[in-house]
Amino acid sequence: MVVRNAGPSPGATLPRVPLPDLAYRLIGRFSVSRFDRFLHPLLYRRMGGRGITGRVLGAEMLLLTTRGRRSGQARTVALFAFARDGGWVVIASRGGTREIPAWYRNLEAQPQATIQIRGETLAVRARDLDGDAYEVAFEQAATGYPGYRLYRRESPVRIPIVLLTPISAAP
């Protein structure tokens, strides 16, 4: 007798079971390590954003390249991203720490940047979200990656949320 039930049918989605808080803390701390800041963009580029470098824990990954506000050098970081309003929302949580990430400070100084999403590279303009748009984007992001709820609860600073809009589509 052969049993052919090898999992859900194609196109079916499995219910997402949140990880324990400790797992999100570890993910957050690893994501701000020098090792990850070097390794993740390298792997993402080599794999073209496919596989585990492209979609992780319910979130799309992208590479954001900004200009250093002091050095003027290109700085690239891998971030979770969520499609919204013709662009991509990114959360400047820095793993729930009290520090605002350098990439966010770079965007404050120079809102034009580039992103690589899968095999496509786009020029984008960054805009901070606030009010209702902030809350809606946060809920969308926290649904995709529940660790953001923990980071928000534990961070002593307001976590910035940024919409990256392709420049050709920006108002």
The total number of structural domains in the chain stands at: 1
- Among residues 41, 167, 169, which one has the least CA distance to residue 112? 167
Q: Categorize the per-residue pLDDT at 82 as very low, low, confident or very high, splitting at 50, 70 and 90.
A: very high
Instruction: Write down the pLDDT at residue 44.
Output: 62
* CB-CB contact of 141 with 149 (8 Å): no
- In this structure, is residue 39 part of a structural domain? yes
Report the C-alpha gap between 171 and 119 in whole angstroms: 25
- In this structure, is residue 60 part of a structural domain? yes
Chain center to CA of 67: 18
How many residues can be counted in the chain?
171
Q: Kindly tell me if the per-residue pLDDT of 147 is higher than 80.
A: yes
Q: Categorize the per-residue pLDDT at 10 as very low, low, confident or very high, splitting at 50, 70 and 90.
A: very low
Structural domain harbouring 57: 21-169
pTM of the model: 0.73
